[in-house]
Structure 1
Amino acid sequence: MELELCAASYSSALKSNHHPFKRVELCANLEQGGTTPSPGTIAATVENVDAECHVLIRPRVGNFNYSSEEIQVMQQDILLAKSLGAKGVVFGVMNSQDRFDLNKNLLLLEAAEGMQSTFHRAVDSSSAYMKDIQSIINCGFQRVLTSGGGTNVEAGKEQLKELMLSNPDIEVMIGGGINTTNVKQLYDYIQPHAIHFSATDWVKDESKNMYTTNYLETSLSKMKEILAQL
């Protein structure tokens, strides 16, 4: 089984060096589901983090039905991540009917040639989950990050179990709501290829500037508690 840490900052990504993570999914703005991190964050992570750096490619918050202009931005972000030494990219495009968008995903896969590609939890919004999982496989993604079509892994565990029993031709990585109280039971029940979690705490920003807000940061103690269950 492989482990992936979802890290919303360089400082969070560095905490993965304390444990044998296979990958770090690097992002920004985890409070809103994650967006593409800065070039500086990618470069620092590639240079100083032991785990493979896989970069989230998501140009904005909200749905995963991207315009042609947004696809162009995503292509450029993929090429930039590749040039900075990232091992892989993480993305997912759905159409207006909440189905896998073949043409737009193929454009992004072309840009990602030579890198590993993970289709992320956009698939959990699918109106035809199992059919879209098969489309993801057919397109050549190496991995799918999914909560089984549910709002979290607990809600989607039956469909995830069914997916694993079907022997999918893709690495299935479960994520969404993984914590210290459920990680062992979910792993034992689903038997996934990989587990993805963030182990975050809220950091309270009590400064007086006009943009003050709270944000999520990986907690080393939470990370250790989750890993201790496995």
Structure 2
Amino acid sequence: MPNPQIPVIVEVCVGDVHSAIVAAEAGADRLELCADLSVGGTTPSLGTVRTVLRHTRTPLRVMVRPRGGDFHFATSEAEAMRTDIAALRTLDTDRIEVVTGGLTSARHLDIPLMKSLVDEAGPLPVVFHKAFDEIDDQEEGLETLVDLGVTSLLTSGGAATALEGAARLHTLAQRARGRLRLTAAGGIRAHNVAQVLRHTGIGEIHFRSPSSGSPETTDPGGVHAVLEALSPSGRTGPPHPGPRR
């Protein structure tokens, strides 16, 4: 079982309003809201974000990514990302974090882009997404993100899954301690979540729970299964206020 002293935060990735409500009702501590999950997630509409905020009380991470494909963005795409972030700043800034990221054509961190996005976010915390797994020197990359003011990092340690990347995740977590929060992601399910927590020392996990008939929507059963795998000793995260009615 995971260390009961580690407060586990369970984040569920969702692709629409109904899935967000389902995941919140199932007990998720935090949601990541995207569009186009089939391509790894893109920016959801402002209407979708507003509606999720209205129907849940769960902290919300919102993807800002203009398209699927690679993470090397043109000047016009960067402008669209800043515009989307500016729109998010008009909403409930106490509950929203921005999930974003960008790389150069050589797959290094795009430092000018990230600086502009962090500056645009203003009071909103910025999470660098799994584009981080494509860079070679992740320890140097982590230091760069800290210097840029990024507050959180979503990663599998450069591996296909969080469990395969557990050793690297542990190293990154030790290096980031007190300066940047890590969320472990990639292939996390009920059968391996305890191992991920134990081997990485990271107390935040991110996963999808796709429905068998509609992979873009969320199956509450998968969320319940992960939460049950963390109970009782491994589930010490913050109390969840439940959905708004």
TM-score, normalised by the number of residues in structure 1: 0.91
2:219 aligned residue: 219
- Tell me if 1:198 matches 2:208: yes
Tell me which of the two structures has the higher relative contact order, counting C-alpha pairs closer than 8 angstroms and 6 or more residues apart.
Answer: 2
Q: Which consecutive unaligned segments of at least 5 residues does structure 1 have?
A: 205-214
- Tell me if 1:108 matches 2:102: no
Residues of 1 paired with 2:193 and 2:172: CA distance?
18
- 8 Å contact kept, 2:11–2:204: yes
Aligned residues: 220
- 8 Å contact kept, 1:97–1:127: no
Higher alpha-carbon deviation: 188-197 or 102-111: 188-197
Displacement of 1:19 in angstroms is: 4.4
Which has a greater percent of strand? 1
- 8 Å contact kept, 2:9–2:204: yes
1:57 to 30, 39, 64: 64
Residues of 2 paired with 1:14 and 1:170: CA distance?
28
- Tell me if 1:123 matches 2:141: no
Q: Which whole-Å deviations, capped at 9, do the CAs of 1:170-213 have from their partners, x for residues lacking one?
A: 10100111112111111111121311111112435xxxxxxxxx
Residues of 1 paired with 2:201 and 2:99: CA distance?
22
Q: Which whole-Å deviations, capped at 9, do the CAs of 1:91-137 have from their partners, x for residues lacking one?
A: 01111111111111011111100111111101000022111111111
Displacement of 1:79 in angstroms is: 1.1
- 8 Å contact kept, 2:210–2:217: yes
2:157 to 139, 145, 148: 148
Give the alignment's Cα RMSD to 1 decimal: 1.4
- Tell me if 1:176 matches 2:183: no
Q: Which whole-Å deviations, capped at 9, do the CAs of 1:55-110 have from their partners, x for residues lacking one?
A: 10010001111111100000011111221325111001111111111111011111
Residues of 1 paired with 2:56 and 2:149: CA distance?
27
TM-score, normalised by the number of residues in structure 2: 0.85
- Tell me if 1:4 matches 2:14: no
Q: Which consecutive unaligned segments of at least 5 residues does structure 2 have?
A: 1-7, 231-245
Higher alpha-carbon deviation: 105-114 or 81-90: 81-90
- 8 Å contact kept, 2:14–2:31: yes
Amino acid at match of 2:136: S
Displacement of 1:35 in angstroms is: 0.6
The percent identity for this pair of structures is 28
2:37 aligned residue: 30
